[in-house]
Amino acid sequence: MLARHAEDMFWAGRYLERAEDTARMVRATLLSTVAESPAQAIDRMQNLIRTLRLEVPTPTEDVETMAEQLAPSPPMLRSESGLGIDVQVAATRLVASPALAGSVAFCIGRTRENFRSLRDQIPSELWEQINEFHLRLRQDDFPAAMEHDPFQTLDFIRVSCQSLTGVISSSMAQGEGYRFLVLGQMLERALMTCRLVSVRYPELDGSSYDEMALTLRSVSALEAYQRASQSSPLGSDVARFLMVDGSFPRSVLYCLRSSENHVEALAANGRPPPLRRLAQLRSELEYADFDTMVGDLPRHLSALESGVRDVAILVGNHFFRNAESFDLHSQAIMPGVSS
Amino acid sequence: MSGPPPGFFDEAVDEHGQTRDHYRPVQEWFDRLTLEQVKALEEQRNESFRRQGITFTVYGGDEGTERTWPMDLFPRIIDAEEWSMLERGLIQRVTALNRFLDDIYAGEQAILHDGIVPRRLITSCTGFEREAMNVAVPLGARCLVAGIDLVRDADGAYRVLEDNLRNPSGISYVIENRAAMTKLLPAAFSDLAVRSVDHYGRSLLRALRSIAPPACGDDPTVVVLTPGIFNSAYFEHAFLARSMGAELVEGRDLVVDDHMVAMRTTRGLERVDVIYRRIDDAFLDPVVFNPSSTLGVPGLMAAARAGTVSVANSVGNGVGDDKAVYAYVPDMIRYYLGEETIIPNADTYLLWEEDQRAEVLKRLDQLVVKPVAESGGYGIVIGPRATDAELAEAREKILADPRNWIAQEVVNLSRLPAWSGDGFAPRHIDLRPFVLSGEQVEVIPGGLTRVALREGSLIVNSSQGGGSKDTWVLGNSDQLDQAAAS
């Protein structure tokens, strides 16, 4: 297939995944703040924003200084009072501000734009679905809906993303384009899970059930985890589950295995650099002694995260190297991806 | 019911105010609809186009805005006999135009030697591309896709208003209009044997494959070349690529190496044999045309000249779109085919001919004045509706550059009911049938009917407030069977 189309597929997959993951994390965070003090809630929200690798404004009394600090990026997460962040406002913006790079509305807009240049490659059903979803997110009353009924709105987003994924797996020919799309999804998902664990792990040390439930819920893993492990969870057990469980589709290991399969099929013959790097990352994770690893988890996670980013770059160089448009998808567009 | 006002031909109603036979079932069906039902249908249609992203881009203002495609619910109907005349007329015209373009660019220029068309008329055309000289096109199918604009005058006679031989657009809307109508008003089709249009993709692919360079074997690779997603017709480009199963490429996806065109794929370079390009000549190849074009493919013309790739529509077709050359099409038909024209031109005056110019300048307020090389309705001055200042300006422009202008008698476009917001009222329409040239010349039944949605307006271009209608060509059962089998 055309290198440019392959690249657009890959990025459509990444943006779509990021939108869904963001919505899940926002939902879990809001859910856990329901019964908490405002200060705790703000803490949690900042935690989430860090997980998403977005700018966290430093709380300050001086509104002007803060506006200056935020000048290069849109001052989207700043509360109106100027005092740190307002949980509700931040959540609404993370979901409904198309101008905030990384918000759900932004990511779905990008997904649609990529699909738009793939109109001849994707089933009409998929195009209609993304188009309708995008238009709903851009309606004037959408931010208000998010503010008034965040849980219902977030459920709507999750269901819309899932039905897109459903259309992709049920009506798209599973050729090259499909593989690049799923590869994008899997790499993005691996990154998001890594980040979640690295941000949440310190909180898990105290091992209160609520903290663990929030972490697991952020990737919709609570039920799967409870089924897999009936013992009362320890922080390291949660981290182990999210990183190396072989059957949970949001664990880092699962995402790496799936990515490896797709790259292997795409490579047709030989072992191109992205495949070698992926296999290396995957086997390091798979055969590592997790109990040793957990002793130095932050370092391992950051190595893993940068490894996944390497893979994305190698995929670009190897498969899209003929596309002059590579620099159009400036890495700065995707928050947290800048190297 | 009273008859239509004089001066206009009404498609659906005869001079006694009676609904014409071929419109009767549809008219009766619409008569039974309540206001609420129509409004609900309108709503449903907008929703469906919006959801499917069936849009076109209007330039101007801050940026191009995407608008949903305006399709009027009331269909235009052409009966079998009338269509058979139109079909023959269109095939005749496009056959002659293909012969003419091939004669000019790759032949003896016999028509110029024989003095049928003045040589200086051709050499002074902005659409005449010297870069296309002696670039052969297999089968001489230079107008691979032609969109011929037809109107009906006050007597109901069809006339050709313009030939669009470069990049005529609109076919995707013909097919989407039909798809929408079958979903919205399935009952309105009742027992009418409406001829199908959705085989267009297959017919286009067949035509494109038929002009592939002979050396590339029997499985040529066909691609659609688009300027990109910001082009107003991108929707159509993607639609055509999808319906042919061809790659939709941009200039940056193609490279020319040693006079061969290839596309950049995930597995390296892959040879391309036929390019259906939807980029204007001027942007096609920065080496020989506009050097600042980033949309094109450097070296493409050299490859076409070497015969390793075929480009459709052919480069240089603009010479046939020139409205002063258009005036000579009946002569071309006589010269190349030895036939009389089946569908006449609108009465046209050439302003570089001194006596015609003098006559026109006297009657400027009664005529339509058009620039020869524009399309899309731009630059037209309609005498009866122009202010004195506009007429004076037109006069000045004509005198300054008479070669650049033609004048035509006003054609009072025929009328057909269209939804006006609170009822169906007559609006002016035209018709753009699509004609494919390959092994043979083929006309897609119907075409794009455009409608001026503003009351009294004669401007049907979608960029200027025009809408469209589904166009139904009625067939007999034989034709239906043929269409199903093809």
Considering chain B, what percentage of its residues have pLDDT values greater than 90? 69
The verdict on A322 touching B (C-beta cutoff 8 Å) is: yes
Q: How many CB pairs under 8 A join A and B?
A: 69
Whether B266 and A117 lie within 8 Å, measured CB to CB: no
Whether residue B63 is found in the same domain as residue B153: yes
With cut-offs at 50, 70 and 90, classify the pLDDT of residue B11: very high
State yes or no: pLDDT of A330 exceeds 70.
no
Same domain? B107 vs B88: yes
Is residue B425 situated within a structural domain?
Answer: no
Tens of pLDDT, residue by residue over A7-16, are 999 999 999 9
Task: Print the domain residue range for B372.
Answer: 348-410
Going from the C-alpha of B252 to that of each of A324, B266, B285, B425, the distances in angstroms are 7, 14, 12, 48
Residues of A in contact with B268 (CB under 8 A): 322
pLDDT in tens, A261-300: 999 999 877 888 999 999 999 999 999 898 888 888 889 9
The answer to whether residues B268 and B360 belong to one domain is: no
- Look at residue A325 in the predicted model and tell me its pLDDT: 38
Task: Look at residue A269 in the predicted model and tell me its pLDDT.
Answer: 74
The answer as to whether B139 is a domain residue is yes
Q: Are A110 and A330 in contact (CB under 8 A)?
A: no
Q: Testing the interface with B: which of A322, A326, A328 to mutate, by most B Cβ within 10 A? A: A322
Kindly determine whether residue B253 and residue A124, on different chains, have CB atoms separated by under 8 Å. no
Q: What is the pLDDT of residue A47?
A: 82
The verdict on B156 and B49 lying in the same domain is yes
Min mean pLDDT across A74-78, B41-45, B255-259, B320-324 is at: A74-78
Give the Å distances, CA to CA, from B5 to A180, A304, B8, B415, B420.
62, 79, 7, 11, 19
pLDDT of residue A206: 61
> How far apart are the CA of B164 and the nearest CA of chain A, in angstroms?
25
Query: Is this complex scored with an ipTM above 0.90?
Result: no
State the pLDDT confidence band at A219, using cuts at 50, 70 and 90: confident
**Structural contact between residues B160 and B344, judged by C-beta atoms closer than 8 angstroms:** yes
Counting the structural domains of chain B, the total is: 2
Q: How far apart are CA B200 and CA B218, in angstroms?
A: 21
Q: Is residue B196 part of a domain?
A: yes
| A39 at interface of B, judged by CB pairs closer than 8 A | no
In a 3-state reduction of DSSP, which class is residue B17?
coil
B281 and B209 inside one domain: yes
Angstroms from B296 CA to nearest CA on chain A: 14
Sheet of B247-249, strands arranged across: B247-249, B222-225, B274-277, B310-312
User: For A307-327, what is the mean pLDDT?
Assistant: 77
Residues B125, B217: one domain?
yes
What is the pTM for the complete model shown? 0.83
Residue A120 tokens, joined? 């001849």
Distance from CA of B366 to the nearest CA of A (A): 47
Selected residues 261-280 of chain A with any CB under 8 Å from a CB in chain B: 266, 268
CATH number, position B367: 3.30.1490.270
Residue B97's closest CA among B161, B142, B65?
A: B142
Q: Is residue B340 part of a domain?
A: yes
Query: Does the distance separating the beta carbons of B253 and A266 come in below 8 Å?
Result: no
Domain presence at residue B23: no
Q: Determine, for residues B265 and A3 on separate chains, whether the beta-carbon distance falls below 8 Å.
A: yes
Residues B352, B341, single domain; the answer is no
Is the CB of A119 less than 8 angstroms away from the CB of B50?
A: no
Q: How far is B288 from chain A (nearest CA, A)?
A: 22
The answer to whether residues B434 and B171 touch, using CB atoms and an 8 Å cutoff, is yes
Tens digits of residue pLDDT in B454-464:
888 877 876 67
Q: Which residue of B has its CA nearest to A269?
A: B267
For residue B229, give the chain A residue with the closest CA: A117
For an interface test with A, which of B55, B252, B266, B275 has the most A Cβ atoms less than 10 Å from its Cβ? B266
Same domain, residue pair B240 and B167 = yes
Q: What is the mean pLDDT of residues A101-130?
A: 91
| pLDDT, tens only, A44-82 | 888 888 888 776 545 444 444 444 443 333 344 554 444
DSSP for B206-267? HHHHHTS-GGGTTS--EEEE---TTSTTHHHHHHHHHHHT-EEE-GGGEEEETTEEEEEETT
A1 near B CB under 8 A: yes
| B109 and B178 fall within a common domain | yes
* In a shared domain, residues B225 and B242: yes
User: What distance lies between CA B458 and its chain's CA centroid?
Assistant: 17
Q: How confident is the model at residue B215 (pLDDT cuts 50, 70, 90)?
A: confident
Residue B315 falls inside a structural domain: yes
Residues B328 and B361 occupy one common structural domain: no
Between A295 and B363, residue with greater pLDDT: B363
Question: What 8-state DSSP symbol labels residue B436?
Answer: E
Among all residues of chain B, which has the CA nearest to that of A112? B53
Is the per-residue pLDDT at B33 higher than 50? yes
Question: Is the minimum CB–CB distance between A132 and chain B shorter than 8 Å?
Answer: yes
On the question of pLDDT at B13 being above 80, the answer is yes
Lowest mean pLDDT among A131-140, B7-16, B164-173, B450-459: B450-459
| Domain identity same for B262 and B398 | no
Paired sense of beta strands B274-277 and B310-312, if any: parallel
Which of B53, B253, B269 is opposite residue A127, by nearest beta carbon?
B53
pLDDT digits (tens, 9 = 90+) for B425-443: 999 999 999 999 999 999 9
Cβ-defined contact of B53 to A116 (cutoff 8 Å)? yes
Cα distance between residue B169 and residue B232, in whole Å? 10
Q: Given B51, B247, B266, which is nearest A319 (Cβ)? A: B266
User: Cβ distance A162 to B82 under 8 Å?
Assistant: no
Contact (CB<8Å) A2/B263: yes
What does the alpha-carbon distance between residue A58 and residue B451 come to, in Å, rounded to a whole number? 59
**Is the residue at B7 inside a domain?**
no
Contacts of A127 in chain B (CB under 8 A): 52-53
Predicted pLDDT at B360 = 93
Q: Which residue type is seen at B175?
A: I
- Residues B198-211 have a mean pLDDT of 95
Helix (H, G, I), strand (E, B) or coil at A229: coil
User: B13 in a domain, yes or no?
Assistant: no
Cβ contacts of residue A319 below 8 Å, gap of 6+? A3, A6, A7, A180, A266, A274, B266
